[in-house]
């Protein structure tokens, strides 16, 4: 079987293939590490992702579209808490709900593993990520001063409480459905305009 190619992170989404989310496996790790290096300021070594796969507390998902990996997200779940470690979507595929769908997938998996609350750190100036987390029930509860050593930026500490309760699960289901419906609609629109061309 041929190896999966690393997509150009800036190539715009073609919108004609369905989005597929799946747990990250060993052969995904060099691709995720390459995309992480290309797109984000905190570059993890490929070995760090491989190590994570052997950690029973760690859960990582990748999102595929347009023939390759376009997003990834991960967390550790210990006792009743989930701690998000990473969320990223390549530039050409942002703004289509992929980040939202990845975070929902992880929150639902965290609940299946017994978590009742989730936390993460986010850069103080990363408003796009903060809006995504706020929509999914996270609230800012404090700061870690100069947490990001590359820019000396503060981290906001966000928590989502009671992620296991039925109203939280239902809220995520509704947001997921709406994100999926928008994507399907965009896909069929793109497919139609290609056919019309």
SS3 69: strand
Choose among 141, 140, 142, 24: nearest CA to 87: 24
Show the site string, 31-70: x = touches ligand COA by CB under 6 A, - = not: ---------x------------------------------
Query: Considering beta carbons, is residue 29 or 187 the nearer one to ligand COA?
Result: 187
State which of positions 132-191 bind ligand COA (CB under 6 A).
132, 179, 182-183, 186
Question: What are the C-alpha distances in Å from 45 to residues 29, 65, 162?
Answer: 9, 23, 34
Query: Considering beta carbons, is residue 84 or 115 the nearer one to ligand COA?
Result: 84
Query: Considering beta carbons, is residue 113 or 186 the nearer one to ligand COA?
Result: 186
Residue pair 27/47 in contact (Cβ under 8 Å)? The answer is no
- d(C-alpha 112, C-alpha 118), whole Å: 13
Out of 128, 165, 169, 189, the only residue in the binding site for ligand COA (CB under 6 A) is 128
- d(C-alpha 111, C-alpha 76), whole Å: 12
Residues that bind ligand COA (CB under 6 A): 40, 87-89, 94-100, 120, 122, 126, 128-129, 131-132, 179, 182-183, 186
């Amino acid at each position: 079987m041929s190896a999966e190619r690393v997509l150009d992170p800036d190539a715009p989404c073609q919108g004609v293939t369905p989005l597929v989310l799946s747990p990250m496996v060993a052969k995904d790790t060099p691709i995720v590490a390459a995309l992480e290096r290309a797109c984000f300021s905190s570059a993890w070594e490929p070995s760090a992702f491989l190590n994570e796969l052997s950690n029973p507390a760690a859960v990582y998902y990748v999102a595929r579209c347009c023939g390759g990996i376009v997003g990834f997200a991960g967390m550790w779940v210990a006792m009743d808490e989930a701690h998000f470690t990473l969320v990223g979507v390549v530039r050409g595929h942002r703004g289509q709900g992929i980040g939202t769908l990845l975070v929902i997938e992880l929150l639902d998996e965290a609940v299946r593993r017994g978590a009742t609350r989730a936390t993460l750190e986010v850069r103080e100036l990363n408003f796009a990520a903060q809006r995504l987390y706020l929509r999914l029930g996270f609230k800012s509860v404090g700061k870690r001063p100069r947490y990001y050593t590359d820019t000396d930026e503060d981290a906001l500490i966000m928590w989502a409480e009671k992620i296991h309760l039925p109203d939280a699960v239902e809220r995520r289901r509704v947001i997921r459905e709406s994100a999926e419906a928008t994507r399907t609609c965009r896909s069929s629109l793109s497919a139609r305009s290609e056919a019309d061309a």
